[in-house]
Structure 1
Amino acid sequence: MADSSLRLLLLLQQIPREPRSISSQQLHERLEDAGYPVSLRTVQRDLVSLSSHFPLVQSTPTGRGKTGVAWAFSKGSQHLAFPGMDAVTALTVSMAMEHLQSLLPRQVLQYLEPWQLEAEAQLRQHNSSKYHDWMSKVRVVPQHFLQAPQVDAEAVGLIYEAVLENRKFSATYKGKPERIIHPYGLVQQGHTLYLICRFFEFDDVRITALHRYQEVELLDESVRSFPEFDIDDYLDSGAMQWVLPDRQRITLKLLVSPWLAAHLKETPLADKQILTTDPQHAERYVLEAQVLDGMQLRRWLLSQGAGLQVLEPEPLREWMREIVREQAHSYML
């Protein structure tokens, strides 16, 4: 394939979808980095030519690299993939989208709509007996009772870009404006998206919910260097289990009902949990496991109601006793 054809393919790969865009100057720089030292004028002519064959739109560029016209694929255009999506991939994408409906906010899912539309088109094209009415036979039931929080779609898109490009940004967070944020990672927990970051010049790491961000503005400065931070080590420390500073890994001992024992055999609390029949209670089981003592654990213990009883450690047993006593008292009023 001629170099000019490869250059055009590379150009198309670099152009984002609305509402994001990229300036012709930025595209020129990326082509140079990829080994295509053509002039800016050549890039501009290529873009005009491509726009007559592909759904490209022009706009005034914003943020870093304001020189020239900004380009983007139109928001409602079908996704273009090389190679094209086959029927099996289309089925997988459709299943994934069905699953994500209950996990991600609608404003975040809109970024995946082009792939969903392409998958649906492929399934219609291959609507033989082999794939007939596939999606009418598949459903994903949400595990969470609460609905996903609503997010600012534009804010989330800019935060994603900041994470990808290692750039800091300013934003309003929890109603407080002009927060300077240094992003270091994204975490999905349940149906809530979290940003792991640091504020201003402070050294403490914060877990911030994306639906609490508004008025996000990308800055031209890079995030503060943080080489000692590793997102896996951070999560392994129990950060997302909301472990408090005075709590640590404990040996949890529970008295559990038969139905909960059966459930915990299939979905254990820990890798090396031990589940035995309780000699003093013929229809009860004793479970022992090494776990992190955090709010996530305590909420789960409370959610099981009469299905379990905390035996050890004593401080956790006392905490459960106090909570249950307060709940019982509130229902007697």
Structure 2
Amino acid sequence: MAKRSDTLETVLLAVELLRRIPRCRKVTASELHQQLKHAGMERELRTIQRQLEMLSEHFEIERDDSSKPYGYRWLEQAKALAVPNLTPQESVLLQLAEEHLKNLLPPRLMKSMDAFFSQARRNLGPESSARLEREWPGKVRVVATSQPLLPPKIVPGVFEAVSEALYSNHWLHIEYKNAGGKRTSADVMPLGLVQQGSRLYLVCRYQGFDNERNLALHRIAAAEVSTLTFDRPKTFDLKRYDDDGRFGFGEGEKVRLAFRIERSAGLHLMESPLSTDQQVVERKDGQLEITATVIDSSMLEWWLRGFGEAVTDIKKLPANINKN
């Protein structure tokens, strides 16, 4: 019975290694050892080395032994490890997921999914019979709710370093240039990565401080992952941080907002309310009188100003005031 268990463990390890060996570059046994460790598979380095030697003999894997440490990669024309039983529906889901997750996952996690994404693309290729599934990505689209902007350029290597430090709970050393052009060096504790429109922001704490700050990734001139780890603060919650309006340039303060708006301009608020406690009164003069509990922020101000003269009589009262 023990022998069966050992055999299964060997097979599972071989499959994981085959999935993680790349095509575009060589990977060492030490790198794969760390990848498996992060994935919860604790194995001795020597065990992985022996497995790689065996796999390179039986699969189309190039072993570069010209210098140590040895490097491994799939040959360019190799089929690599096929992902079985991926249906056309699963393929179209993965194709959409790849597009929308590429800026929200560490590059090495995305690379670990390469076999799935490649199989999905093959399944939906021009030679496949999955015509309806192949057409689906051209039938759906996420559109902007404001003037579309091209994403700002991020210095090469910054996103990789930031996402790796965030993923592994390592301190991050950065060179940061603010909007005024002032450049500073700092060690930060990465806590979250947020995409807002075309921009990416790092939520972090500066060393020696216990408050959070948002840093635009395109303003980070350089980033280096430290060898030092940290314990993620139990009091920090990225969803709550967002709910408090921190990306609307607010301080988390709730107010009871009241305003009047022309019906034609405010009709969409009856379909998509500002809050769960929103109240709407239709006035005889054709205007809508709206009250709702919201986070007070600069974004709220910009939103209200966007209506111009269609919005009048704006009031902000404490959120705990009697609503009746």
After TM superposition, the score normalised by the length of structure 1 is 0.72
Letter in 2 for 1:169: L
1:10 aligns to what SS in structure 2?
helix
Structure number with higher strand proportion:
2
Q: Does 1:127 align with 2:160?
A: no
Q: Does 1:85 align with 2:53?
A: no
| 1:81–1:199 Cα change, 3 Å | farther
After TM superposition, list the pairs within 5 Å mapping 1:95-114 onto structure 2: 95-96=96-97, 100=100, 114=114
Q: Does 1:239 align with 2:242?
A: no
Q: Structure 1, residues 133-153: CA drift from partner, whole Å, max 9, x if none?
A: 444444444434222222234
Q: Does 1:5 align with 2:11?
A: yes
Which residue matches 1:148? 151
Q: Does 1:274 align with 2:275?
A: no
Which residue matches 1:248? 253
| Aligned-residue RMSD, C-alpha | 4.1
* 8 Å CA contact retained: 1:78, 1:117: no
| 1:254–1:81 Cα change, 3 Å | farther
2:247 aligns to what SS in structure 1?
helix
* 8 Å CA contact retained: 1:181, 1:200: yes
| 1:233–1:18 Cα change, 3 Å | farther
* 8 Å CA contact retained: 1:59, 1:71: no
* 8 Å CA contact retained: 1:257, 1:285: yes
- Mark the runs of 5 or more structure 2 residues left unpaired by the alignment: 319-324
Which of residues 158, 163, 183 is equivalent to 2:161?
Answer: 158
Distance, in Å, in 2 between the alignment partners of 1:313 and 1:232 is 25
- Mark the runs of 5 or more structure 1 residues left unpaired by the alignment: 61-66, 316-333
| 1:199–1:47 Cα change, 3 Å | same
Distance, in Å, in 1 between the alignment partners of 2:176 and 2:77 is 30
| 1:36–1:198 Cα change, 3 Å | closer
Distance, in Å, in 2 between the alignment partners of 1:302 and 1:45 is 66
Which residue matches 1:323? none
| 1:225–1:142 Cα change, 3 Å | closer
* 8 Å CA contact retained: 2:74, 2:80: no
After TM superposition, list the pairs within 5 Å mapping 1:35-54 onto structure 2: 36-37=43-44, 40=46, 42-51=47-56, 53=59
Which of residues 281, 298, 302 is equivalent to 1:299?
Answer: 302
* 8 Å CA contact retained: 2:60, 2:75: no
Instruction: Give % identity.
Output: 25
| 1:149–1:129 Cα change, 3 Å | closer
Distance, in Å, in 1 between the alignment partners of 2:54 and 2:74 is 14
* Equivalent residue pairs, number: 299
| 1:270–1:132 Cα change, 3 Å | closer
Q: CA deviation at 1:77?
A: 9.3
Distance, in Å, in 2 between the alignment partners of 1:269 and 1:257 is 16
Distance, in Å, in 1 between the alignment partners of 2:184 and 2:241 is 28
Which of residues 147, 168, 191 is equivalent to 2:198?
Answer: 191
Q: Does 1:179 align with 2:183?
A: no
Q: CA deviation at 1:305?
A: 2.1
* 8 Å CA contact retained: 1:79, 1:118: no
Q: CA deviation at 1:95?
A: 3.9
| 1:128–1:311 Cα change, 3 Å | closer
Q: CA deviation at 1:156?
A: 0.6
Distance, in Å, in 2 between the alignment partners of 1:130 and 1:284 is 46
Distance, in Å, in 2 between the alignment partners of 1:289 and 1:166 is 39
* 8 Å CA contact retained: 1:22, 1:71: yes
Q: Structure 1, residues 233-266: CA drift from partner, whole Å, max 9, x if none?
A: 333333222114xx83211111112223321112
Which of residues 209, 217, 220 is equivalent to 1:210?
Answer: 217
Distance, in Å, in 2 between the alignment partners of 1:303 and 1:57 is 61
Q: Structure 1, residues 153-176: CA drift from partner, whole Å, max 9, x if none?
A: 421112111111110121211163
After TM superposition, list the pairs within 5 Å mapping 1:59-74 onto structure 2: 68-69=69-70
Which residue matches 2:265? 260
* 8 Å CA contact retained: 1:194, 1:208: yes
| 1:165–1:71 Cα change, 3 Å | farther
| 1:172–1:259 Cα change, 3 Å | same
After TM superposition, the score normalised by the length of structure 2 is 0.74
